[in-house]
Chains A and B, each alone.
Chain A
Amino acid sequence: MTTGGQIVVIIMIMGGALSLAAGLIWVERRLLGLWQDRYGPNRVGPFGILQPLADAIKLLFKEDWSPPFADRSVFLIAPAVIFATALLSLAVVPVAPGIGVVAEWNVGLLFFLAMASLGAYSVILGGWASNSKYSLLGGLRAAAQMLSYEVFMGLSLAGVVVLAGSFSLAEIVRAQADLWYVVPQFLGFVVFLIAGLAETRRLPFDLPESETELIAGFHTEYSGMSFGLFFVGEYIGIITISALITTFFLGGWHGPLLPPLVWFLLKTLVLIAVFVLFRAAMPRPRFDQLMAWGWKILLPITLINLLVTGAVVALP
Chain B
Amino acid sequence: MIPRSGYSAIAALCGAVLVFFLAPGAAAAAESGPPAPPPGAPEGALGNTAAVALLFWVLALATVAGAVFVITRRNMVAGVMGLVFTFFAVAVLYAMLYAHFLAVLQVLVYAGAIMVLFVFVIMILNKPEDEPWALTGLVGKAIAGLALLYFLMRLGGVLWGVREKPAASGAELSPGGTIQSGDFGSLAEVGRVLFSDYVFAFEAIALILLSAVVGAITIARPGSGSSSQDADEGAAVGDGERAPDA
Instruction: Tell me the A residues contacting B by CB distance below 8 Å.
Output: 71, 74, 105-107, 110-111, 113-114, 116-118, 120-121, 124-125, 127-129, 136, 139-140, 143-144, 146-147, 150, 167
Contact = CB atoms under 8 A, between A and B. Distances in A.
Nearest to A168: B187
Interface in B67-98: 75, 77-78, 81, 84
Contacts, number: 69
Given A117-B108, A118-B111, A118-B112, A125 B119 contact: yes
Contacts of A74: 77-78, 81
A201 to B, nearest CB: 15
A143 B116 contact: yes
Interface of B: 75, 77-78, 81, 84, 100-101, 104-105, 107-108, 111-113, 116-117, 119-120, 123-124, 126, 186-187
Given A106-B186, A110-B108, A118-B111, A147 B81 contact: no
Residue from A110, A120, A124, A128 whose CB has the most chain B CB atoms within 10 Å: A110
B116 A117 contact: yes
Given A106-B100, A110-B101, A124 B107 contact: no
Contacts of B104: 107, 110-111, 114
Contacts of B108: 110, 113-114, 117
Nearest to A119: B112
A113 B116 CA distance: 14
Contacts of B78: 74
Nearest to B121: A143
7 contacts: A107-B187, A116-B112, A118-B107, A124-B120, A125-B77, A144-B120, A147-B116
Nearest to A113: B108
Given A111-B104, A120-B116, A150-B113, A106 B77 contact: no
Contacts of B116: 117, 120-121, 124, 143, 146-147
A105 B111 CA distance: 21
B114 to A, nearest CB: 10
Nearest to A108: B104
A71 B119 contact: no
Given A106-B100, A113-B108, A147-B117, 5 more contacts: A118-B112, A124-B119, A125-B119, A129-B77, A143-B119
A150 B108 CA distance: 11
Contacts of A140: 120, 123-124
Residue from A71, A74, A121, A147 whose CB has the most chain B CB atoms within 10 Å: A121
A71 B77 contact: yes
A145 B201 CA distance: 32
Contact of A139 (B100, B123, B186): B123
A310 to B, nearest CB: 14
Nearest to B91: A114
Contact of A105 (B100, B107, B124): B100
Contact of B101 (A107, A116, A125, A146): A107
Contacts of B113: 117, 147, 150
A117 B112 contact: yes
Contacts of B120: 124, 140, 143-144, 147
A150 B120 CA distance: 15
A116 B84 CA distance: 15
Contacts of B112: 113-114, 116-118, 120
Nearest to A166: B187
Contacts of A114: 104, 107-108, 111-112
B186 to A, nearest CB: 6
Contacts of A120: 112, 116
A143 B121 CA distance: 10
Contacts of A124: 116, 119-120, 123
A8 B111 CA distance: 31
A121 B123 CA distance: 12
Nearest to B186: A106
Contacts of B124: 140
Nearest to B101: A107
Nearest to B107: A114
Nearest to B112: A117
A114 B103 CA distance: 10
Residue from B81, B104, B111, B119 whose CB has the most chain A CB atoms within 10 Å: B104
A147 B100 CA distance: 24
A167 B187 CA distance: 9
Nearest to B78: A74
Contact of A110 (B105, B111, B119, B186): B105
